[in-house]
Structure 1
Amino acid sequence: MLTDRTPARPWLSSYPPHVPAEIEVDRLGTLVDLFEASLSQFADRPAVQCFGAQMSYAAVGQSARDLASWLAAQGLGKGDRVALMMPNVPAYPVAIFGVLLAGCTVVNVNPLYTPRELTAQLNDSGARILVVLENFAHTVADALPEIALDRVVVAGPGDGLGLKGRLIGLASRHIKKAVPAYSFPAGLAIRFEAALKDGHGRKPPEVAVSPDDLAFLQYTGGTTGIAKAAMLTHRNIVANVTQSEVWLGVARSKAGRKVMVTALPLYHIFALTACFFFFFKVGGCCLLIPNPRDAAGFVKTLKGTRFTHLSGVNTLFNLLLNTPGFDQVDFSRVEFTIAGGMAVQAPVAARWQAVTGHAIIEGYGLSETSPVVCVNPPGLAQWSGTIGYPLSSTDLVIRDLDGRELPFGEPGELCVRGPQVMAGYWKRPDETARATTADGFFRTGDVAVLGADGQVRIVDRMKDMILVSGFNVYPNEIEDVLAGHPGVLECAVVGAESEETGETVVAHVVRKDEALTAEALRAYARSQLTGYKVPRRIVFRDTLPKTNVGKVLRRALRDETGPV
């Protein structure tokens, strides 16, 4: 509801006719309500597809209830934390709903974590049970001396897919040798399907879940680089699903099957909300891609699937575009391709549209905002270069470091308020206070510009800005220029200490053309950038350090880049 304290919302005049200024936040239910409603409407539809096989809504629902019953039998109840450590395999969506049905809180864990990283997250969250894909069980075994778990549930890659799933598991273990040896103390571990079987004969838990209950502890580096968990309630996630639904207009149509290509891992908030929960609510199917880095296998899957939606990040789109056979993928049924997680580069966006015939719809969000804050409208004729407009019931202001609101076109910190914004950081009230303004806005740490029409453009992360002789230099701008050179596959720009200018620009580049020289690339940059923005040093390398989602780790590059 609009109040006297609500900032001006110039974006409302640009809203499509079907999009309301507000969603009815007080009438939102829980993720358990979403689960039950979709099961009653879409029982026979495929909810999950992976390894060429499918699970129906009814099958996901029954397995989730069985897991909830098993968790209750272990003594878990409302508020207890259960950690999930898996890539995109069928057991993951089952586990998510099973934990929520039991009234517990999901702690998403990156399966590529080291024992040290895993120990820190499990001890911080206080998770009592961990569900892990067997391929990563050895990490858990190595961390056991430092963590306290009631049980470990070990899943196979094909669990939930019947006979084909068991064959997939056998191939993974014995042919691909993809499961390193591990050992757990007697009585600690149980197989995922054995837990479901045990829960099937038990009475389902009767837990009253409310919208304000904690659904997820979503760990993030946030704006300070310190790993901490955003506390996301059922209301936060359901609100964001509802906001996205009214904006994107994906109808619950019985005619035609909606299939979202879900290559980003479900432990990442973008895939969790925008792919899984969103499409579960509208009766769609999540096409799970367990290993998107296997580009050839990914393209093969795309060729064999009639998909209607695709999500990703800039590096994933670039990877696909440079994979043989991608230009033969059928995009005729696609309604939109949506990007988030990091800035889309203009050369990648242009090439994507040339190859697929579809413009990339770019959005913006963070773990702390469940995640979507802004998104472009579907049906764009071409990539806009902005993150679009704030969603319904979302307030947004641009402020300087002293908290003063800035005029249109002036870059400053993007601050957000809305029903999708987290309840705070887990066990870190000081961090919560630092990230929250007196009038209830979340400080994102991103530099943005608000246009008079309400469109928002992200400039860069505040912490990534480079100060050259007193001038602000934003790496995104330079990366966009360098990526346009035909000899560049991908690049990342960071700042380095300089006695002469305070800081200077360093570009790390992966070449597409090995004949490309630093001098030639610097000359190209000089033709499009003012002098102080041109990289003083260019480092050619075989790869760029990235997160498992595909975001470039600028922090790692800064650490290895010495003074210039």
Structure 2
Amino acid sequence: MTLVDRASTFLARTAVVDPTASYTYSQLLDRSAKVATTLLAGQTDLKEDRIAFLVPPSFGYVALQWGIWRAGGIAVPLCTKHPTPSLRYVIEDTQASAVIYAEEFEAVLSPLFDTVSTRFLRTEDFGTETSPLPDLESDRRAMILYTSGTTGRPKGVVTTHANIEAQITALFDAWQWSQDDRILNILPLHHVHGIINVLSCALWSGACCVFLPRFSERAVLDVFRRGEVNVFMAVPTIYYKLIAYYDVLTEVEQEAIRSALRGFRLMVSGSAALPVSVLEQWRTISGHTLLERYGMTEIGMAISNPYAGERRPGYIGQPLPGVDVRLADDGEIQVRGPSVFLEYWARPDATAESFTPDGYFHTGDIAVYEQGAYRILGRNSVDIIKSGGYKISALEIEEVLRTYPGIRECGVVGLPDPEWGEVIGASLITDSGTLDLDQLTDWLRERLPGYKLPRRYIFQDELPRNVMGKVTKQELKQAFA
């Protein structure tokens, strides 16, 4: 059963609230049917044509995504923060037959109008007619999302309708979604976290997804205070910003927020490692231990802390229903199951290389299994530092550094060294802009073995991050050069 099929059982319920209005599932079905009819333009089936779209998070976004699917196309959501060259890359790489855009993005797309062989449609160009729509098999390609490209050019990750359903239903069961849920979605909608974990899980459940016109700490906390939502998912950076904003509020304002947060059903953190210090500060404010989970564009979510049960700081939990997880000899997480993607778009060699002979996907993430749960050590390419014969987790060193007085945030990387292979470098964001490094080293010696001590330091105002708030370690390495 598809998202569209399930929507017919929730017709009168509110599906989406955006800055313009509230919309029911009935309105979503009607609007997406009109989008599909316009896209078909007399054809019976788009037959997996790629349709790219650049619109803000809104009812219009959802209607476009569903309309592309209902017409038999492959949805290619574009990042609203990307510059023109990045948008060109995705449009050309997918050979999109059409690009649909909201008026506010015309300026960033206009340099492509005469240089890219595709048709550009404004959201205002869609008609009001409906026509018969094709029946879709579950093994048809449905969506292409692009990787972050931290180790090379971004690759298009192709998922089928069956893959998407498997990703949704695993979370629907594990996190006990219901039609009474209301979730605030502040995550980018070109990424699996925002599209699947928040938007699609809510709509599969008959629940409501709420969008803000733009992110601000005040706006998010106001939504919480007013009791408009009971589920929230975000990246660690967002929780950090909310904590910092909360700390400067009056006691009366803080108490109103604390009271509202205690009525939430679920709060989740993902897309980057959650510092234990942030988890503990948020628990003090909200009364909730954030649920950490593990996933990526190619597999959806694979591992999760329990909805009901102990959530251990620093751990990501156990495999989700229907997901087969194992650790290779080097500690790499490998995943197999119906939620795993079909292929990298137009990259058969890269697709073949990403799977083991028995069908497990190479995630490239290194973990250990301890006391019944997985703990991430880091990404093999950037978070595992190989120094003097040791394999060292950058994330472990970061957790220790964050507990030092005066350090607000930090990033640890391996730097090339002719003698040791790599030495440990640490970028520090501090309250005062600097620290006594001799004192810091003495403090670290009491908490870490000598081979895990940073050998080089830099001070920065902020760490380089991608749009999901994840620290871009390759860019951070360049800062040491």
Q: After superposition, give the CA deviation of every residue in 1:341-399 in whole Å (9 maximum; x if it has no partner).
A: 11111111111111110001111111111x11011111345544211111122111111
Cα distance, 1:383–1:357 mapped onto 2, change above 3 Å: farther
Write out per-residue CA displacement over residues 5-24 of structure 1, whole angstroms, 9 at most, x where no aligned residue: xxxxxxxxxxxxxxxxxxxx
Contact 1:413 1:445 in 2 (8 A): yes
Name which of 333, 351, 355 aligns with 1:414: 333
The correspondence for 1:42, drawn from 1, 5, 10, is 10
How many angstroms does 1:521 deviate by?
3.7
Q: Please name the residue that 2:388 is paired with.
A: 469
CA contact (8 A) 2:433 2:461 kept: no
Give CA-to-partner distance per residue, 1:101-134, whole Å, 9 cap, x none: 1111001211222222111111110112212233
- Structure 1 match to 2:288: 358
1:275 aligns with 2:198: yes
Matched, 1:129 2:98: yes
**Do residues 61 (structure 1) and 26 (structure 2) align?**
no
Residue 332 of structure 1 pairs with residue 267 of structure 2: no
The CA distance in 1 between the partners of 2:150 and 2:188, in whole Å, is 22
**Matches for 1:290-329 after TM superposition, within 5 Å:** 290-292=213-215, 294-324=216-246, 325=249, 327=254, 328-329=256-257
Distance 1:238 1:463, change over 3 A: same
Could you tell me which of 177, 189, 195 is aligned with 1:266? Answer: 189
Residue 276 of structure 1: how far off its partner (Å): 0.8
- Letter paired with 1:49: V
Q: Which SS does the other structure have where 2:245 is aligned?
A: coil
Match of residue 155 from structure 2: 228
Counterpart contact for 1:223–1:445, Cα < 8 Å: no
> Within 5 Å, which residues of 2 pair with 1:138-149?
138-149=107-118
- How far apart in 2 are the matches of 1:381 and 1:289? 32
Q: Does the 8 A contact of 1:46 with 1:57 survive in 2?
A: yes
1:498 and 2:466 correspond: no
Query: Structure 2 unaligned runs (5+)?
Result: none
- Equivalent position amino acid for 1:365 in 2: G
1:77 to 23, 43, 46: 46
Q: 1:533 to 1:322 in 2, by over 3 A?
A: same
294-303 or 233-242, which deviates more: 294-303
Contact 1:84 1:108 in 2 (8 A): yes
The 8 Å contact of residues 47 and 55 in structure 1, kept in 2 or not, is answered as yes
Q: CA deviation at 1:48?
A: 1.3
1:432 corresponds, among 333, 344, 351, to 351
* 8 A Cα contact 1:230 1:424, kept in partner: yes
Which residue type is aligned with residue 280 of structure 2? Answer: A
Structure 2 counterpart of 1:542: 461
- Give distance in 1, aligned partners of 2:114 and 2:425: 42
Task: Report the counterpart of residue 456 of structure 1 in structure 2.
Answer: 374
Q: Which amino acid aligns with 1:394?
A: V
Per the TM alignment, residue 203 of structure 1 is displaced from its structure 2 partner at its CA by: 3.3
SS at match of 2:291: strand
CA distance in 1, matches of 2:42, 2:463: 44
Q: Note closer, same or farther for the CA distance 1:86–1:552 as it changes in structure 2 (3 Å cut).
A: farther
CA contact (8 A) 1:46 1:284 kept: yes
- Quick check: 135-144 or 348-357, which moved more? 135-144
Give 1:452 shift: 6.3
What is the CA-CA distance between 1:305 and the residue it aligns to?
A: 4.0
Q: 1:158 maps to which residue?
A: none
Shift of 1:548: 1.2
* Paired residues of 2:40 and 2:71 also in contact (CA < 8 A): yes
Report the alpha carbon displacement of residue 74 of structure 1 after superposing the two structures with TM.
7.2
In 2: Cα distance, 1:89 partner to 1:486 partner:
42
Q: Distance in 2 between matches of 1:559 and 1:415?
A: 30
C-alpha offsets along residues 249-295 of structure 1, whole Å, 9 cap, x if unaligned?
Answer: 2234xxxx311121111211011111111110111111224533x32
Amino acid aligned to 1:46: T
Contact 1:65 1:101 in 2 (8 A): yes
Alignment root-mean-square deviation, CA: 2.1
1:478 aligns with 2:408: no
What TM-score do the two structures reach when normalised by structure 1? 0.79
Separation in structure 1 between the aligned mates of residue 223 and residue 103 of structure 2, nearest angstrom = 23
**Identical counterparts, % of pairs:** 29
2:130 matches 1:207: no
Taking structure 1 as reference, are residues 423 and 498 closer, same or farther at Cα in structure 2, changes over 3 Å only? same
1:350–1:383 Cα contact (<8 Å) kept? no
Q: In the alignment, which of 334, 337, 342 is matched to residue 423 of structure 1?
A: 342
Corresponding position of 1:376 = 305
1:389 aligns with 318
C-alpha spacing 1:506/1:64, structure 2 compared with 1 (3 Å): same
Q: Distance in 2 between matches of 1:483 and 1:290?
A: 33
Aligned pairs (5 A) from 1:154-233 = 192-195=123-126, 198=127, 200=128, 202-221=129-148, 224-233=151-160
Aligned to 1:528: 447
- 1:487 counterpart (389, 400, 406): 406
Aligned to 1:164: none
Q: How much does 1:491 deviate? A: 1.6
Deviation at 1:219, TM superposition (A): 0.9
Task: Say which is worse superposed, 411-420 or 125-134, in terms of deviation.
Answer: 125-134
1:235, CA displacement in angstroms?
A: 0.2
Q: CA deviation at 1:193?
A: 3.8
AA of the residue aligned to 2:377: V
**Aligned-pair CA distance for 1:518:** 3.7
Amino acid at match of 2:237: T
In structure 2, the partner of 1:170 is: none
- Aligned match of 1:118: 87
**Structure 2-normalised TM-score?**
0.92
SS of match in other structure, 2:307: coil
